[in-house]
Structure 1
Amino acid sequence: MWKTALKPRWIAGLVFAIAVSGVFVLLSQWQFGRSTQPEIPVNPATEDARALTDTLQPGDFFHGSVADQMVTAEGSYDPAKQVLVPGRLYNGESGYWVVSAFAVTGAPALSGVAASPQTWIPVARGWVADPADAAAPPSGTLELTGRLLPSESPVPETAPEQGRATAVSVAELINYWGVSSYPGFIAATAEISNGSDVSPAAVPGELKPLRIGPQPPAQQVNWLNLFYSLEWVVFAGFAIFIWWRLVKDDYLRDLEDRLEDGSAHQPDAGPAESHPKAQTSSSEPTEQKVQP
């Protein structure tokens, strides 16, 4: 069969089949790429800063529609309410987030036995490599701007050291600080005091700005495009199969032609000879019995 496959026309056919299969594989990769693309782009409205008090309510659930929203709030920090969250990266270097409690002016006060007179929100102010570089937050009334993010989950079965937290977890921080809080936290981008920005983004120092951008939406699998990508792979294999089938059919035709040519050149058998007994019996005279 290899002799048949090495015919010039079938070599050309193989090259064509491989080219067609390559095109089908590229189409499969394209469909697979489309199957994992986010269908909903990043919402540009999240970059327009809104008042925190109009965006989220304390004591309410953190709604996904307000995640990544840039917000503004007026209030002040309490330097006694500041923790470090370890295991945070900045330009590939591991360090700490500096998280401070911010009392929000004009925020609704929660009711209950454990509720505090003021409502607070954790603010991730920046990153430091050395805990000793985590200075106290700026004092006085500030105009805070930052990105609103959902509360993180605390690390289970981990007891943080004094002045540390396992994560930016509202549930963990309110117990540590003993305050009422919004159900989320803010990654600060600006801290305006008396008209000047005193945040790490404006004042160089050991405290580095976080610069957390809007998070891309979660990728959703488009099953139709995924099915199409698998279908193109099947087509690629089918192109090679068609070439192999045509070569096999040509080989079988050549084999039949050779068998027919061999039958045509085989000599015919001679006429059958008469049986010797028959010849002998026919030459002998027939004896007749005479009845007395």
Structure 2
Amino acid sequence: MKPTFWQVAGKPKWLAGLALAILVAIVFSLFGNWQLSRSIRVIEGDLPGKVATPIDQVAELGKPFLEAQADRLVSANVFVNNTVCAVVEGRQQLLEDGSTKAGYWVVFDSITSEQIHIVIAAAFYEGK
């Protein structure tokens, strides 16, 4: 006689497999939630440093950029490599009144005199 679905599903090895599959699904959903929370950030109030600060005072060139260094207006002398550019879709632009609007960023590669590459967000376009 062939066992029914519930007789097979009730065996310990299949219950352990189900528990493992549920655990893996939970872990991946937590990773997905973490990744989404990192992709959207809203800044309350005024941006720190509305006056441009030289980039070498804010971050060390060639080193990873930390979150504490973000959201600042910086200045740098660079050569813009306009052969390397990209359009990044699905971005949110923060407006003066604190609201946001969806659109596209145009980003370029630039090179400092020390031959360090910096990506520049050159423009925002809200068209379709």
Task: Please report the TM-score for the alignment, with normalisation by the length of structure 1.
Answer: 0.23
> With CA pairs under 8 Å and 6+ residues apart, which has the higher RCO, 1 or 2?
1
Higher share of residues assigned helix: 1
Higher share of residues assigned strand: 2
Rg comparison, structure with higher value:
1
